[in-house]
């Protein structure tokens, strides 16, 4: 048998709930930016706290809670002379896209959005926090216009939180207001220079692989949040691969940038790319100009993000780290049995997170102890294919193993190396470093 229990001194409940994250977003019918997906009301996961990084699960929860059939503050009977009407789901996407950039802001420009009606059918939302730039062109349902204005993104988020299907900005007596039911509420604006938000859009000649982008940014890069070192929260794009290196894992996977020079993606940039790859339904395009990554999402969102090139690449990803991933993974076991055991172990708080993994020529043995180290269980997983290059044992985090089994999937092979447990799948190579 693939799974054999040698000794168990603690009962474990085998019932567990297996959950999957449903991916959803919105999509434009055309490049003018008419978003059509069912994206509903924002409440859960849509925080006004810019100090805390959102998770992509929170983004999906918020976007999936917006219902297009909600009550609308906009109706055909509105007779204001100057007003614009923006779709709530479009503005929600903008707020999430700029949220990682706002945490680095030092002035009002880095905390504000500039809202500029280009014509009676299109409104451009622009964000500027040098060197970060982001613009999004949204459809305007009013067929009218207002003067350009700037406001705090934090206030815009609060308005979005409390809006129904649309957000209505009304200009009266040279002031901006928000239409709520049949009344107007004064809107605080900021006297920023609108000319600073005018810039030429650079070309994005290359297509980004959306499937690999989702895997790279949403799955692997999510693990970087567990590191407390800023130097480890980067992705090194080198030789058309994405490289990761932290104290507890290293990885080399296919790069979503199908054609590019070597460069470094920092944490803030990765967060923006995670959001864009999640909401994009048409295409992601990119280009690199000097130390800037230029990205276009569905022809609607345009942004410029800072990256590092040249010698900085080798500083963050050494030859030693790259060599540690050059192992031959040939061992196969019954992975669904391992995943089930690890899921149950991690869910029970009386069991220790530190587990021992022992590799021999015939099996992989997993030793699990309770938190006070007085009882333990040993499970054997028969090696059904391949032969390990070396034998030995290592301690590792059960949570880390569980997370990586979720990242790599079931179709994987293993290797045991001097540095830890190696895993390979169709996307790349992963090394889970030993603990202690």
Q: What is the pLDDT of residues 132-143, one digit of tens each?
A: 999 999 999 999
Beta-sheet strands, E only, within 13-105: 83-87
Domain ranges of the chain: 56-197, 206-323
Rounded Cα distance, 392 and 240, in Å: 34
Minimal CA–CA distance to 282: which of 80, 57, 32? 32
Look over the chain and give the mean of its residue pLDDT values, rounded to a whole number. Answer: 84
The H or E element spanning position 245 is strand 241-245
Rounded Cα distance, 305 and 134, in Å: 9
Q: What is the pLDDT of residues 265-283, one digit of tens each?
A: 999 999 999 999 998 989 9
Query: Is residue 422 within 8 Å of 327, Cβ to Cβ?
Result: yes
Q: What is the pLDDT of residues 347-405, one digit of tens each?
A: 999 999 999 999 999 999 999 999 999 999 999 999 999 999 899 999 999 999 999 99
Chain length of the chain = 436
Q: Which CATH class is domain 206-323?
A: alpha beta
* Degrees, nearest 5: CA angle 330-320-289: 105
Rounded Cα distance, 321 and 214, in Å: 24
Q: Is 259 helix (H, G, I), strand (E, B) or coil?
A: coil
| Omega prior to 381 cis, within 30 of 0 | no
Helix count (H) and strand count (E) of the chain? 9, 25
Rounded Cα distance, 397 and 409, in Å: 18
Rounded Cα distance, 188 and 176, in Å: 8
What is 56-197's CATH topology? DNA Polymerase III; Chain A, domain 2 (3.10.150)
pLDDT > 70? residue 68:
no
Confidence tier at 40 by pLDDT (50, 70, 90): very low
Query: Which pLDDT value is given to residue 320?
Result: 87
Query: Is residue 28 within 8 Å of 52, Cβ to Cβ?
Result: no
Rounded Cα distance, 255 and 215, in Å: 10
The H or E element spanning position 376 is strand 376-382
Are domains 56-197 and 206-323 of this chain identical in fold? yes
Helix/strand/coil (H, E, C) string of 74-100?
A: CCCCCCCCCEEEEEHHHHHHHHHHHHH
According to DSSP, the β-strands at 112-117 and 183-186 are unpaired
Rounded Cα distance, 359 and 97, in Å: 45
Q: What is the pLDDT of residues 327-346, one digit of tens each?
A: 999 999 999 999 999 999 99
pLDDT > 50? residue 180:
yes
Cα 217 to its chain centre, rounded Å, is 5
Rounded Cα distance, 375 and 13, in Å: 16
């Amino acid at each position: 048998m693939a799974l054999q229990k040698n000794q168990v001194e603690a009962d474990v409940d085998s019932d567990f709930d297996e959950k999957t994250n449903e991916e959803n977003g919105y999509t434009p019918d055309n490049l003018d930016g008419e978003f059509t997906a069912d994206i509903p009301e924002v409440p859960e996961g849509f925080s006004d706290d810019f100090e805390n990084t959102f998770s992509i699960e929170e983004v999906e929860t918020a976007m999936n809670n917006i219902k297009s059939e909600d009550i609308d503050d906009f109706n055909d009977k509105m007779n204001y002379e100057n007003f614009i009407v923006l779709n709530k789901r479009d503005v929600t996407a903008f707020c999430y896209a700029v949220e990682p950039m706002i945490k680095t802001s030092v002035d009002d420009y880095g905390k504000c959005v500039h809202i500029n009606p280009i014509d009676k059918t299109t409104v451009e939302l622009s964000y500027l926090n040098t060197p970060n730039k982001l613009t999004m062109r949204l459809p305007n349902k009013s067929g009218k216009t207002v003067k350009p204005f700037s406001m705090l993104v934090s206030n815009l988020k609060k308005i979005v939180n409390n809006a129904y299907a649309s957000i209505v900005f009304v200009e009266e007596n040279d002031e901006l207001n928000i239409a709520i039911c049949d009344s107007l509420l004064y809107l605080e604006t900021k006297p920023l220079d609108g000319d600073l938000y005018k810039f030429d859009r650079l070309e994005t000649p290359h297509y980004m692989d959306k499937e690999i982008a989702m895997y790279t940014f949403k799955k692997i890069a999510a693990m970087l949040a567990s590191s407390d070192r800023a130097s480890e929260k980067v992705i090194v794009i080198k030789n058309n691969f994405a490289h990761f290196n932290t104290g507890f894992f290293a990885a080399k996977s296919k790069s979503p940038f199908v054609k590019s020079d070597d460069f470094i993606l920092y944490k803030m940039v990765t967060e923006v790319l995670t959001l864009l790859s999640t909401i994009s339904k048409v295409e992601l395009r990119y280009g690199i100009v000097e130390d800037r990554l230029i990205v276009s999402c569905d022809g609607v969102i345009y942004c410029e993000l800072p990256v590092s090139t040249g010698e900085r690449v080798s500083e963050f990803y050494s030859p030693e780290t790259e060599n540690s991933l050059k192992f031959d993974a040939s061992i196969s076991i019954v992975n669904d049995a391992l995943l089930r055991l690890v899921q149950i172990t991690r869910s029970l708080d009386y069991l220790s997170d530190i587990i021992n993994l022992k590799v021999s020529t015939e099996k992989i043995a997993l030793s699990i102890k309770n938190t006070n180290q007085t009882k333990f269980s040993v499970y054997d997983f028969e090696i059904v294919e391949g032969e390990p290059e070396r034998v030995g044992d290592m301690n590792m985090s059960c949570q880390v193993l569980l997370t990586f089994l979720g990242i790599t999937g079931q179709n994987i092979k293993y290797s045991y190396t001097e540095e830890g447990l190696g895993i390979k799948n169709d996307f790349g190579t992963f090394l889970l470093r030993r603990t202690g």
